[in-house]
Amino acid sequence: MKLVRGVLAGIGVLLAASAQTPRLGTIDFPNSGSAAAQAPFLRGLLLLHSFEYGAAAVAFQQAERIDSTFAMAYWGEALSYTHPVWNEQDVAAARGALQRLGATAAARRARAPTARERGYLDAVEALYGAGTKAARDTAYSLAMGRVAARFPADQDAKVLYAASLLGLNQGVRDTITYLRAAAILEPVFRANPSHPGAAHLLIHCYDDPAHARLGLPAARAYAAIAPDAPHAHHMTTHIFLALGMWDDVVTQNEIASGPDRSAWTPGHYTYWLGYGYLQQGRYEEASRHLELVHRNMANGRGNVPAVLTEMCGDYVVTTEQWNAPCLGWDIDLSGMRTRDKALGAFLTGYAALKRGDRAMAERQLAALGSVAPPLPNGDPVPHILEQELRGAVQQASGNSGSAVAVLREATRLEDAMPFEFGPPATVKPTHELLGEVLLQAGRAKEAEAEFTGALRLAPKRARSLIGLAHAAAAAGDRATAARAQADLRTIWHDADPGVRATAP
């Protein structure tokens, strides 16, 4: 069977060349499918590289209908049901796709006419074979490593191998493995600066504050590589947020959220967008945004209640509006994760404490203690939230020494967590809260160190900059105070007038 090069016209034409073709990047993927099946197949693979998994599956299914013997179309659909970075996998759907190609692995393998395609198919068979998810993910990664080694000119094999590495730790960031994947991806990105998967995954590899600057070239390129993939616009902000580049965070998440604002619901893109508005000091816009997604939440799916709670928490903690309307919303977290329920209890209790309602804070503290899973294997976030609220309650009771001790334990727990990209899972970073408690206790130099630590984990976060400016000034460190004030003025260049007036 004649091989067809992996571009729409078969001659290396950029996918954006036609107005009818979505602009998703450029790949070169030889395959044995019919000429008629190329367009949907390649669209599916490009969408897969941009984590537009649902649309990718639809495109691969279209290729299957055009060419029912096209083994790689079924391979692509099956692969679309595994999301390695997100630790998600729909084994039943994937096995169903493979079953449509052939009843057994041997029968399916016989449909792949080249050694390279058999290598890809063998890898996906390992991914959905026997064993635990972790064991299958490992077997798949090893198989993709063999494909990449046997066919060194195959850029997509390298990219998919790198993606498999990011999934080995079951959704928990492992910096050494992420940097190993980056070393595989960098040469692909240099050789093909329009490869969406290379740019995309490099951003994932580098999206922590310690490495984010290494990801700036990929972040600057990715939205232009795949402008018709909403995730491409959002994904750039993994780097921008890690560097405190709030204007870029807002601009790209506005695009990712879609042109019809009336349809925005609480979701990943709108969550990051709201956080960006808050860091810019645009509290009125953040309030309107929060009200909008709340009105539309009935149209959302999945973890909408948890996302809305996170958005409310960011708004309340950043603006310090302890009577904000969102605190009175009836958000049902019963079906959400333990950390989401814990966040709801923390937010209710912390805001109540700031209003002077210590009884409510104590009740929420008790609720937090009842939901936190046991350590060391349980999720540390509920424990961190409990410690934060406990420390705040003790401070409000006049026991600053105990409050500091409890919050130092909270910082220890947070510092020991694998890095989680995005807005802080606790809505109130532990070092920031400890800095505020120390500053109120007159321990300005210690407070300055905590705010500095908070900004290492969340660069140019507005509340931490405010705290650092106050603590450094109180400690007599004029240079640090001036730098914090200058950073705050820069990120608040478009802030509400009333917000700018509160700058230290």
Contacts of 136 (CB under 8 A, 6+ apart): 126, 127, 128, 129, 130
C-alpha 380/C-alpha 374 separation (Å) is: 9
Nearest to 97 by CA among 120, 72, 117, 132: 72
Secondary structure element (H or E) that encloses residue 362, with its range: helix 358-371
Give the architecture (CATH level 2) of 1-236.
Alpha Horseshoe (1.25)
C-alpha 431/C-alpha 142 separation (Å) is: 40
Nearest to 379 by CA among 434, 331, 335, 342: 342
Which residue ranges make up each domain of the chain? 1-236
Q: Are 12 and 5 in contact (CB under 8 A)?
A: yes
| pTM listed for this prediction | 0.92
Counting every residue written for the chain, the total comes to: 504
AA identity, residue 435: G
C-alpha 238/C-alpha 242 separation (Å) is: 6
Contacts of 242 (CB under 8 A, 6+ apart): 207, 208, 209, 212, 215, 421, 459
Cis upstream peptide for 429 (omega within 30°) = no
- Judged by DSSP in three states, 83 sits in strand
Nearest to 186 by CA among 142, 155, 209, 148: 155
- Tabulate helix, strand, coil % of the chain (nearest 5): 70, 0, 30
**Tens-binned pLDDT, residue by residue, of the chain (504 aa):** 233 333 222 222 233 333 357 899 999 999 999 999 999 999 999 999 999 999 999 999 999 999 999 999 999 999 999 999 999 999 999 999 999 999 999 999 999 999 999 999 999 999 999 999 999 999 999 999 999 999 999 999 999 999 999 999 998 899 999 999 999 999 999 999 999 999 999 999 999 999 999 999 999 999 999 999 999 999 999 999 999 999 999 999 999 999 999 999 999 999 999 999 999 999 999 999 999 999 999 877 778 999 999 999 999 999 999 999 999 999 999 999 999 999 999 999 999 999 999 999 999 999 998 888 888 888 999 999 999 999 999 999 999 999 999 999 999 999 999 888 899 999 999 999 999 999 999 999 999 999 999 999 999 999 999 999 999 999 999 999 999 999 999 999 999 999 999 999
